[in-house]
């Protein structure tokens, strides 16, 4: 699936819920399905700066696509990174770099986060794109 198709799927899933309490619970459930980062990557080299809670992201290239794993010490944050990993993992670096993240506004996520969590979300996206840029540079 393309990044846009996955984003549409997430928008559809979130539209099934009537209120944000249900959406938060869904994010918590998504966090439980997150492909967990290997313990060796839970270090300062892989931590996302700017997050209120601890979030670690690891990326590696497999078959010209970026594979992400992640973890967080907070359940909501773990759900947020799970959504991002779902969107961007197993995609070509150039697709990640060129993608937009409008789906976050469309599901209403940013407006329902505290300012520090919203900043953390921006930091997570920035780090994912930085990994993609690094891998794209290697391919060129």
Q: Which residue has the higher pLDDT, 128 or 118?
A: 128
pTM, two decimals, is 0.94
Q: What percent of the chain has pLDDT over 70?
A: 100
Task: Check which CATH number belongs to the domain holding 25 and give it.
Answer: 3.90.1010.10
Q: What percent of the chain has pLDDT over 90?
A: 79
> DSSP 3-state assignment of 34?
coil
Cβ partners under 8 Å of residue 89, min gap 6: 35, 66, 67, 68
Of 71, 77, 78, 90, the C-alpha closest to 135 is 90
Q: Which residue has the higher pLDDT, 110 or 13?
A: 13
Confidence of residue 68 (pLDDT cuts 50, 70, 90): very high
The phi and psi torsions of 56 (rounded to 5 degrees) equal -115, 135
pLDDT score for 109: 87
Residue with tokens 């540079």: 137
Domain count of the fold of the chain: 1
pLDDT score for 117: 84
Q: Which domain holds residue 99?
A: 3-139
> DSSP 3-state assignment of 93?
helix
Catalytic residues: 51
Cβ partners under 8 Å of residue 103, min gap 6: 7, 8, 10, 11, 87
């Amino acid at each position: 699936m393309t990044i846009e198709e996955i984003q549409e799927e997430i928008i559809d899933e979130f539209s099934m819920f009537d209120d944000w309490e249900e959406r938060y619970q869904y994010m918590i459930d998504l966090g439980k399905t997150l492909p967990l980062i290997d313990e060796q990557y839970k270090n300062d080299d892989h931590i996302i700066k700017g997050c209120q809670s601890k979030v670690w992201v690891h990326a590696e290239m497999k078959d010209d696509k970026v594979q992400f794993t992640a973890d967080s010490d907070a359940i909501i944050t773990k759900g947020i990174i799970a959504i991002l990993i779902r969107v961007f993992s197993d995609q070509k670096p150039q697709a990640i770099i060129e993608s937009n993240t409008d789906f976050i506004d469309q599901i209403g996520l940013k407006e329902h986060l505290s300012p520090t969590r919203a900043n953390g979300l921006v930091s997570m996206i920035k780090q994912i794109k930085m990994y993609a840029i690094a891998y794209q540079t290697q391919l060129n």
